[in-house]
């Protein structure tokens, strides 16, 4: 096959729609982190209530992600990848627009939950579609395209929120999602799913995951991704607190730290995808990025940081080392057959996102006794070591044929 034909395969409409869908997905997911304070102040939340109300809203979104991850995954295997891809885009687009109309915390909470349910479906369905539409030698490049566009959505959220009032930022996100739905007319379903639909095979039966072998693979895959959201949910989200612990004179702006981390992740996603192709291995590429991530965790927490410029550079480096996110989801999708693939690829990343809840709780619990720095270092070390052990136990999937089912 020529490079020209490979390029055309990589840029076919289903792959592009999956990539653009993830852009809008990430836009919404991180817009709240950027506009949390101004939006809460606008509806009357002030002073000491800003943090607990913000955590409450974040937990509502994470709860939606966890529930939606399971529901959309099952639907993806029962009804098709496209039904989930566009259903999730529609739901979180409408929720985004409605977020711009809220006037109270309860309204905000309900809509963050609904947005979380919607957000839960797009990435897993998109990655499943990419894994099944592209030939095995292009799947890694497909992950590069999807991840790059997705992370750019997080960066876009920062700049839109900086240019516009917070309500308009939500309207922009919803409008982008609805605009993306126009492309639906040109998208075709995965051929593997179409063939499976005509066979007498159980699809989207979550009970099939609870055999010892499948459950082991499923749990191992989730744990491999947890360090990603330790970095995002603890080190980057609480970057102002880490800046204070380092004794920086100027305050760290959380929104800027998020933007730089996800800019770094854009480049990391590109490098990890190409590295996976070069090494002919998902596991080797992920292992390298995990070890780099741990190295920068130690530098971020323990090195003497003199000014905010150095701190922000480390945020970007941590983001770069987080650049195996989509490669990790591709790995999860490749581990299971066509009749369970969407269930796994959709639920695994959302359980990883949901790991932010126990990670944050552990951080808060350890903070009084160990302090901000040592508490985060202990959690990060445990998380990375366990993830490396779990990664070693998983099979290599780089050359795996996707045309098989779970019996």
DSSP symbols for 175-243: HHHHHHHGGGGG----HHHHHHHTSS---S-GGGGGSHHHHHHHHHHHHHHHHHHHIIIIIITTHHHHH
State the CATH number of the domain containing residue 172. 1.20.1250.20
Distances (CA, A) of 289 to 81, 206, 220, 246, 301: 29, 31, 17, 26, 18
**Is residue 405 assigned to a domain?**
no
- Indicate if the alpha-carbon torsion angle 130, 132, 133, 139 is positive or negative: positive
User: Angle at Cα 119 formed by Cα 22 and Cα 160, nearest 5°?
Assistant: 60
152: DSSP letter: H
Closest listed residue to residue 77, CA positions, set 340, 401, 402: 340
The more confident residue out of 100 and 53 is 100
CA 203 to chain centre: 25
Mean pLDDT (the chain, rounded): 86
Please report which confidence band the pLDDT of residue 108 belongs to, taking 50, 70 and 90 as the band edges. very high
Closest listed residue to residue 108, CA positions, set 158, 173, 43, 62: 43
Q: What is the pLDDT of residue 122?
A: 79
Residue 2 has pLDDT above 70, yes or no: no
Overall average pLDDT of the 125-147 stretch: 81
Q: What is the pLDDT of residue 187?
A: 65
Please report which confidence band the pLDDT of residue 188 belongs to, taking 50, 70 and 90 as the band edges. low
Q: What is the pLDDT of residue 146?
A: 82
Separation of alpha carbons 272 and 277, rounded Å: 9
**Is residue 5 assigned to a domain?**
no
Residue 96 has pLDDT above 50, yes or no: yes
**Is residue 44 assigned to a domain?**
yes
Given the structure tokens 């126009």, which residue do they identify? 182
Please report which confidence band the pLDDT of residue 106 belongs to, taking 50, 70 and 90 as the band edges. very high
Q: What is the pLDDT of residue 50?
A: 78
- pLDDT tens, position by position, 64-94: 988 988 888 888 888 877 778 788 888 989 9
- pLDDT tens, position by position, 347-376: 898 889 888 888 888 888 888 899 889 999
Closest listed residue to residue 271, CA positions, set 236, 225, 232, 319: 319
Overall average pLDDT of the 32-39 stretch: 83
**Is residue 204 assigned to a domain?**
yes
**Is residue 402 assigned to a domain?**
no
Which of 117-131, 189-203, 374-388 has the highest average model confidence (pLDDT)? Answer: 374-388
- pLDDT tens, position by position, 265-298: 878 988 898 899 899 999 999 999 999 999 999 9
Overall average pLDDT of the 110-123 stretch: 88
Which domain does 76 fall in, by range? 11-184+197-393
Residue 175 has pLDDT above 50, yes or no: yes
Residue 310 has pLDDT above 80, yes or no: yes
Separation of alpha carbons 249 and 378, rounded Å: 26
Write the Ramachandran bin of 187: left for phi over 0, alpha for psi from -120 to 50, otherwise beta. Answer: beta
- pLDDT tens, position by position, 215-269: 999 999 999 999 998 998 889 988 888 998 999 989 898 778 888 888 888 789 8
Least confident piece of the model among 18-32, 96-110, 312-326: 18-32
Please report which confidence band the pLDDT of residue 1 belongs to, taking 50, 70 and 90 as the band edges. very low
Separation of alpha carbons 40 and 48, rounded Å: 12
The more confident residue out of 248 and 50 is 248
**Is residue 400 assigned to a domain?**
no
Please report which confidence band the pLDDT of residue 14 belongs to, taking 50, 70 and 90 as the band edges. confident
Separation of alpha carbons 81 and 89, rounded Å: 12
Q: What is the pLDDT of residue 388?
A: 97
Q: Please state the domain count of the chain.
A: 1
Overall average pLDDT of the 180-186 stretch: 69
Overall average pLDDT of the 12-31 stretch: 82
Q: Residues, the chain, total?
A: 407
Please report which confidence band the pLDDT of residue 191 belongs to, taking 50, 70 and 90 as the band edges. low
Separation of alpha carbons 229 and 79, rounded Å: 30
128 contacts 346 by C-beta, under 8 angstroms: yes
**Is residue 317 assigned to a domain?**
yes
Separation of alpha carbons 190 and 147, rounded Å: 20
63 contacts 116 by C-beta, under 8 angstroms: yes
């Amino acid at each position: 096959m020529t490079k020209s034909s490979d390029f055309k395969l990589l840029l076919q409409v289903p792959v592009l729609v999956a990539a653009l869908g993830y852009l809008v997905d990430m836009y919404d997911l991180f817009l709240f982190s950027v506009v949390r304070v101004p939006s809460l102040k606008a509806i009357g939340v002030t002073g000491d209530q800003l943090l607990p109300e913000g955590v409450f809203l974040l937990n509502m979104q994470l709860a939606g992600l966890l529930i939606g991850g399971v529901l959309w995954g099952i639907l993806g295997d029962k009804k098709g990848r496209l039904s989930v891809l566009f259903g999730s885009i529609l739901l979180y687009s409408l929720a985004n627009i409605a977020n711009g109309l809220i006037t109270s915390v309860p309204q905000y909470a309900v809509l963050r939950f609904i947005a979380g349910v919607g957000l839960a479906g797009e990435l897993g369905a998109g990655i499943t579609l990419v894994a099944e539409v592209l030939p095995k030698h292009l799947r890694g490049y497909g992950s590069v395209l999807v991840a790059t566009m997705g992370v750019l959505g997080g960066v876009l959220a920062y700049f839109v929120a900086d240019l516009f009032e917070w309500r308009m930022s939500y309207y922009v996100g919803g409008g982008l999602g609805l605009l993306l739905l126009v492309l639906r007319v040109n998208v075709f379903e995965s051929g593997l799913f179409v063939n499976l639909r005509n066979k007498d095979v159980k699809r989207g039966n979550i009970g099939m995951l609870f055999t010892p072998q499948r459950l082991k693979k499923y749990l191992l895959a989730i744990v491999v991704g947890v360090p990603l959201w330790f970095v995002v949910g603890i080190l980057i989200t609480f970057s102002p607190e880490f800046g204070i612990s380092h004794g920086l004179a100027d305050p760290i702006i959380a929104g800027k730290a998020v933007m730089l981390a996800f800019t770094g992740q854009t480049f990391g996603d590109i490098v990890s995808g190409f590295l996976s192709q070069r090494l002919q291995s998902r596991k080797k590429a992920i292992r390298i990025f995990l070890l780099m991530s741990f190295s920068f965790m130690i530098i971020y927490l323990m090195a003497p940081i003199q000014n905010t410029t150095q701190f922000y550079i480390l945020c970007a480096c941590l983001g770069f080392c987080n650049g195996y996110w989509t490669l990790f989801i591709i790995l999860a999708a490749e581990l299971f057959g066509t009749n369970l693939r969407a269930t796994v690829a959709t639920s695994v990343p959302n359980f990883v996102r949901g790991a932010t809840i126990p990670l944050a709780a552990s951080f808060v619990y350890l903070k009084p006794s160990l302090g901000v720095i040592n508490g985060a270092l202990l959690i990060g070390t445990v998380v990375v070591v366990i993830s490396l052990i779990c990664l070693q136990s998983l099979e290599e999937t780089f050359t795996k044929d996707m045309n098989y089912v779970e019996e």
